[in-house]
Structure 1
Amino acid sequence: MAVATLVSRITGFLRTLALVSALGLGTHLLDTYTAANVTPNAVYELVMGGAAASVLVPLLVRVTADEDVDAELFTQRLLSLVLYGLSAVVLVTIVAAPLIVELTVPGFGAAQRELAVDFTRIFLPQILFYGISAALAAILNARGRFAAPMWAPVANNLVVIATAGTFLLAGGTGRMETLTQGQTLLLSIGTSAGVGAQMVVLAVVTRRAGFPLRLRADPRGIAVRRIAAMAGWTVASVTAAQAALIVVNRLASQAGPGAVSVFSNAYTLFQLPYAVVAVTVITGMLPRMSRAATERDLSQVTADLSRSLRLTGVVLVPVAAALVVLGPRLTTLLFAHGNASPGAAHLTGVVLAAYAPALVPFAGYQIMLRVHYALGDTRTPALISVAVSAALLVASLVAARLHPGADMVVALAGCTAVAYALGLVITAQSLRRRIGRIDGRRLLRSHARMLVAAGVAGLAAAVVASGLGPAVGTGPGGSLAVVCAATLTGACLYALAARLLRIGELTALTAGLPWTFRSL
């Protein structure tokens, strides 16, 4: 699963680089494209995304284990309900596209707003594609098929990379004023086709897994009211999260030209290690914990939670330190090409470094929320998520007032760490009351050792970067040399410090690598 996620995220970065090269980091065109492409994701998360994560997999695991229920018919009706419901959402949002654009990016001028509406209307069918993909992935996960859903986004990324390449070959530039109608259709249809390709891959895999894809017009028999009640709390939490996101994006859109794409690309980089490590752990853990929770084996739930947090932390703690030290160098290496502005690439790195302290709290918070879902509780995580969103919203508004201009996006990223640290503490206390213990002392000891080892490695990497930097310059070539030298130094020292401090989680993790590569 980790290998599949890694390949998916690598191709995702190639997709980001292709779009940055084609549309230009720091340009009005990339800002407009990014703002429009975020919309279907936001709407999907609002109406279904949270429910897909918290309800579908545990529900399908319990249905599969219930001999009195026709699991195949139940699943077909559930999939049909998703298709019909999201199709209606797509039609409504297409009509409301101008209002959505005005709500999310008020800092855009008239020409940008008009282009954003055009992009948004063709991007909105992605809502349906995402929803069907999530439902198919849940079906596969409930059947013990975890890797295939993590490979599917590769198809999406490859289609969008091809779209960006075709745009460049067709004479496209980063100037919004020279964009033709044909180029607009190429970008918008090609981007939505990528999400459609992801859905098709999952449909093919699901059929090969033995599940017949058949629409059922009658949703009776799947306890729609019970599902709605469980998902209702999740929708409330996602609504709060999307409200905070809208406010943050509105603030970013007023931070100057290119600020929206800078902020978005930094967040994409921040999400990479979380997706490769924590999402892999969450995906494998949730069905296992759901089964243990069904059997009321709370000691097994605690053991799985502790191991998940420790294995995640042993990777993400040093990665967070590396992002703090090498953020600007990394983004210069990745983004300072084609139509991209070097200044915007450097600012993206500064924003990434500000995001870095949120990496471990964010991953821990998300893993702990899934324990509540495994227990069949969507109310508690919803209330916690609302509190976290409120904290992020308040912190962002204060930060925007204190740091106007380009520095605003850096301050907004820093607010994320504060919000998710709060969420981690609240969720840990909630779980402790619910399952009795969360192995807190062992978790604190392990993470303290990881922090010491990462601190030593990060300090050494910073010394190498500062010493080598003046000699190689600040361009992409120099940044490549600095990133390679500092990363190698930091990784070696982290491994050595982990051995001296007896961080067993690193040994357990590396012990599994030979088996992983043999299985490939």
Structure 2
Amino acid sequence: MTAEAPLMQTGRAMAIATMVSRVTGFVRTMVLVAALGLGTRLLDAYTAANVTPNTIYELVMGGAVASVVVPLLVRTAADDSVDGDLFAQRLLSLVVYGLGVVVIVTVIAAPLIVQVYVPGFTPPERQLAIVFTRFFMPQILFYGVSATLAAVLNARSRFVAPMWAPVANNLIVTATALVFLLIGGTGHLEALTTGQMLLLSIGTSGGVAAQMAVLAVAGRRAGFRLRLHADPRGIGVRAIAVMAGWTIASVAASQAVFIVSTRLASQAGQGAVAIYSNAYTLFQLPYAVIAVTVITGVLPRMSRAAADRDLARITADLSRSLRLTSVAMAPVAAALIVLGPLLTGVLFDHGNAAPAAAHLTGSVLAAYGLALVPFAGYQIMLRVFYALGDTRTPALVSTAVSATTIAASLIVAHLVDGPDLVIALAGCTALAYALGLAVTAQLLRGRLGRVDGHRLLNTHTRTLAAAAIAATGAALITQALSPAFGTGPTGALTIISAATAIGAGLYALTAHLLGLGELKELTSMIRPT
């Protein structure tokens, strides 16, 4: 068995788990849209409140998990003089106590938080968002415990279980939305009863709690005892804080992007916040299935190579990760650009959703498609710095990317208004990540000595050519079939199926003719053994 075989087998299992997780996540999104109504103020209030715990969690801890916690646990596991379980238990205790305080503070500050994020809401919409926000804030603690348990499992080379955990969350929230529909829930904010509001609030936070419970069970099965210590000291809290400090700064910058984007979207018209959020969720699917799978599997390997000061091994892992990710994601990006409005019509044009809102979501998704490959490559490169124990450099780069995004967003806000503004905001993201990718590549080259640049450029050039031919074929098929089948959900699904088949065939054929060996390797990773 080759050295890559275990990684390929684990990668396939992670990809399957992530795909199931994301598919159930889309089902959840579709049911919520059908229940609350895409383009309604009710869904806007729910969406604004529901993303707030995620953003606050990312601000206070989320970025530190990838940059600090996983490499730290890997190095601790390799040190025979340290009790790995005790270290992880004290780390978990620190997370619980710290995030518990954050939950209390944010529940009290909910009115101020809502005002900062969505100043364009009407008074009834703002009041409902405040109520939802207070019910959703405990999710911050649930996310933190889940992320720490997942890091413990990853450090023990248990990558698959954390990928399955979000399925529990998705199933519970989907059931909540279905019950909401069954008891007569509508998309009108004014018609929402107290019982319906409680159902949505408790069911949504209950889903995140279930995700945490799944990881706790998985940790127990992996031999990790879930135990809190009254005194979490003894794990080098100051050193962890110093390492995480730079990451927190970069996450703060990214949250500034979120605040600016959400504030601008809240003033772009009714339903714009949910439209922008749902398009971003769709954009994240291929990144999560492909790039996150690669990152999760390769980060511990890079951390071990960094501990051994084996820069050649790090470069080899980086090159392979970037090439495989690019080959897998380029055709997906092309599909989002060409088929975006049709895809969102099939997904969201149901129930209380407005057809125009579903179409606008697709246009935003198409703009996000331009960011897919640069975003994935940029995120993979940042992980190399984390593996090397350097959180300062990626923090500075991330801050620069965030500043570019904010500047571009504010500029386009003066040039574009109404629904077109949310499309322009997605385009600003694509521009910023392309610049971030270029800068990060140059910095990594200086750190590692080489990044296999000629091979990467060769692979990406051929991949782009194959994706462009595939996109052209898909666009021609779409244009030819649209008059006959229309843009309704059934007709759109037929056009998408035909365009996808032609596009995939052209991509595979062109890749073969251009000698793109990474596609064959990717296929072997997916094919069951």
* TM-score normalised according to structure 2 size: 0.97
Q: CA deviation at 1:217?
A: 1.3
Q: How many residues align structurally? A: 516
CA distance in 1, matches of 2:459, 2:140: 41
What is the one-letter code of the residue matched to 1:98?
P
CA distance in 1, matches of 2:426, 2:188: 28
CA distance in 2, matches of 1:160, 1:220: 37
- Matched ranges for 1:68-83 at <5 A: 68-83=81-96
1:445 aligns with 2:445: no
CA distance in 1, matches of 2:315, 2:391: 18
Alignment partner of 1:248: what SS? helix
What corresponds to 1:7 in structure 2?
20
207, 216, 232: which one aligns with 1:219: 232
What corresponds to 1:205 in structure 2?
218
Q: CA deviation at 1:514?
A: 2.5
Alignment partner of 1:337: what SS? coil
1:413 aligns with 2:429: no
Q: CA deviation at 1:17?
A: 0.1
1:384 aligns with 2:392: no
Alignment partner of 1:218: what SS? coil
CA distance in 1, matches of 2:412, 2:57: 28
1:348 aligns with 2:361: yes
1:422 aligns with 2:438: no
CA distance in 1, matches of 2:182, 2:130: 25
Q: Percent identity?
A: 70
What corresponds to 1:242 in structure 2?
255
What corresponds to 1:320 in structure 2?
333
CA distance in 1, matches of 2:449, 2:525: 31
CA distance in 1, matches of 2:461, 2:202: 49
Q: CA deviation at 1:218?
A: 1.3
What is the one-letter code of the residue matched to 2:214?
V
Q: CA deviation at 1:67?
A: 1.1
1:52 aligns with 2:47: no
Q: Is residue 328–residue 522 contact of structure 2 (8 Å, CA) maintained in 1?
A: no
Alignment partner of 2:370: what SS? helix
1:368 aligns with 2:381: yes
What is the one-letter code of the residue matched to 2:37?
G
CA distance in 2, matches of 1:413, 1:156: 27
What is the one-letter code of the residue matched to 2:328?
V
What corresponds to 1:23 in structure 2?
36
106, 116, 129: which one aligns with 1:93: 106
What corresponds to 1:128 in structure 2?
141
CA distance in 2, matches of 1:250, 1:15: 25
474, 490, 494: which one aligns with 1:481: 494
27, 49, 64: which one aligns with 1:36: 49
What corresponds to 2:165 in structure 1?
152
1:333 aligns with 2:346: yes
Q: Deviations over 1:54-106 (max 9, x none)?
A: 11100000000011111111111001000010000000000000000000000
Q: Is residue 35–residue 181 contact of structure 2 (8 Å, CA) maintained in 1?
A: yes
Alignment partner of 2:371: what SS? helix
Q: CA deviation at 1:220?
A: 2.1
Moved over 2 A (4+): 512-515
1:140 aligns with 2:130: no
**Once superposed, what is the RMSD of the aligned Cα atoms?**
0.6
What is the one-letter code of the residue matched to 1:154?
V
Q: Deviations over 1:204-252 (max 9, x none)?
A: 0100111111111112210000000000000000001101110110000
* TM-score normalised according to structure 1 size: 0.99
Q: Deviations over 1:22-56 (max 9, x none)?
A: 00000000000000001000100000000011111
What corresponds to 1:306 in structure 2?
319
Q: Deviations over 1:478-500 (max 9, x none)?
A: 10001000000000110000000
What is the one-letter code of the residue matched to 1:199?
M
Alignment partner of 1:512: what SS? helix
265, 280, 283: which one aligns with 2:278: 265
What corresponds to 1:118 in structure 2?
131
What is the one-letter code of the residue matched to 2:343?
L
200, 209, 217: which one aligns with 1:196: 209
Q: Is residue 38–residue 352 contact of structure 2 (8 Å, CA) maintained in 1?
A: yes
What corresponds to 1:471 in structure 2?
484
